[in-house]
Amino acid sequence: MCTTCGCGQGETRIEGEHALEHRHADGTVHSHPHDHSDPHEHEHGHGDGHHVHSHAHGHDHHDLHFGRGPAAAHAPGLSQTRMVQIEQDILAKNDALAAAIRQRLAERGVFAVNLVSSPGSGKTTLLVKTIEALHGRREVVVIEGDQETSHDADRIRATGARALQVNTGKGCHLDADMVGRALERLAPPAGSVLMIENVGNLVCPAGFDLGEAHKVIVLSVTEGEDKPLKYPDLFRRSTLMLLNKIDLLPYVEFDVARCLGYARRVNPEIGVIELSATRGQGMDEWLAWIEGGVLAAQGALSRARR
């Protein structure tokens, strides 16, 4: 489960598997109600990470802040200490599985990327264009994460690439157990590129390592330039930001310089590529970044075999 929103208590469905279930990182299966209680019910409780903000920063002197406690989150009926303990337990199991995935991929020189973004940022279109551009040069295999449908996996398969759909049900992100089970079916060949398209969400994917070499966040100019400040965890944990749909800049109010400034305020080391997946602008730089990652994975494998 995710202690921030209670997700992961629904059903996970991986293509080719008959059971409808949710498996936690330790392999157990659970099904519980999805509780999103109204936070305003606890407006006066200050001991569980919930604060009524009455100071002079911000425009509203009565803003509500649920992320001020040690857990940096709020869940009705759970203390901050208990939330921290639950999260540590879950992430420890997830991270152990992710480490095993990373080792398995490293032993085959597979370069893995975890693509994260809001819904509608253009991740799937970017993947389609990337696969087409790499055709004959690098094999790309794809794990597609969505709550329901196989629409995105079908789009990927239409390019001739192998893809597996993972439907998370009520879950709002992929975890290492889901990815590991998908990899058993996909078996990426040595020297290939594994693209993991995470569920569209700028919150929960930040906390879950999937065994990838890099998290890459896709932000489109049809969103807002302040996204890095609103959702700092994901930007902080990402190696690269792809600023997508730049062909639409003449038609939207989006300050590129301000957006990049915000991203680097959160993560001074983040790389940035401005591109348009539909028009091809910036795609050469993106493809070169991928090729560099593949060569690094192969170099590490070569050194390990000496």
CA of residue 87 relative to chain centroid, distance: 17
Is the pLDDT reported for residue 76 higher than 80?
A: no
Q: Three-state DSSP class for 201?
A: coil
Mark residue 174 as left, alpha or beta (left: phi above 0; alpha: psi -120 to 50; beta: remaining).
beta
**130 contacts 290 by C-beta, under 8 angstroms:** yes
Alpha-carbon gap, residue 161 to 139, rounded angstroms = 8
Tokens at residue 230, please?
């609103």
Q: Which helix (H) or strand (E) holds 109?
A: none
Report the pLDDT value the prediction gives residue 14, as an integer from 0 to 100: 76
What single letter denotes the amino acid at residue 209?
D
Query: Average of pLDDT values for 250-278?
Result: 98
C-beta separation of 35 from 76 below 8 A: yes
| CA-to-CA separations, 122 to 37, 183, 200, 242, 277, in angstroms, rounded | 32, 24, 10, 10, 8
Confidence of residue 224 (pLDDT cuts 50, 70, 90): very high
Contact 165, 152 (CB under 8 A): yes
Q: 140: pLDDT confidence band, cut at 50, 70 and 90?
A: very high
Return the bridge partners of 272, or none. Answer: 241
Kindly list the distances between the CA atom of residue 230 and the CA atoms of 57, 64, 103, 152, 202, in Å, as whole numbers in the listed order.
16, 15, 33, 27, 9
Q: Are 234 and 267 in contact (CB under 8 A)?
A: no
Distance of alpha carbon 285 from the chain centroid: 22
pLDDT grade for 62, boundaries at 50, 70 and 90: confident
Q: Over the chain, what is the mean pLDDT?
A: 84
Q: How far is CA 233 from the centre of its chain?
A: 11
Q: Residue 163: enclosing H or E segment and its boundaries?
A: strand 162-167
**pLDDT of 43 higher than 60:** no
Q: Which of 17-21, 37-41, 98-102, 269-273 has the lowest mean pLDDT?
A: 37-41
Q: What is the number of residues in the chain? A: 306
Cα torsion at 116, 183, 12, 236 (round to 10°)? -20
Q: How far apart are CA 225 and CA 253, in angstroms?
A: 9
Q: Is the pLDDT of residue 247 over 80?
A: yes
Task: Taking residues 95-100, report their average pLDDT.
Answer: 96
The vertex-254 CA angle with 238 and 226, nearest 5°, equals 45
- Average of pLDDT values for 135-159? 96
Q: What pLDDT, on a 0 to 100 scale, did the predictor assign at position 125? A: 98
Q: Diameter of the chain by CA atoms?
A: 63
- Is 50 exceeded by the pLDDT of residue 7? yes
H or E, element range at 78:
none
pTM of the model: 0.77
Would you say 112 and 268 are in contact if contact means Cβ atoms under 8 Å apart?
Answer: no
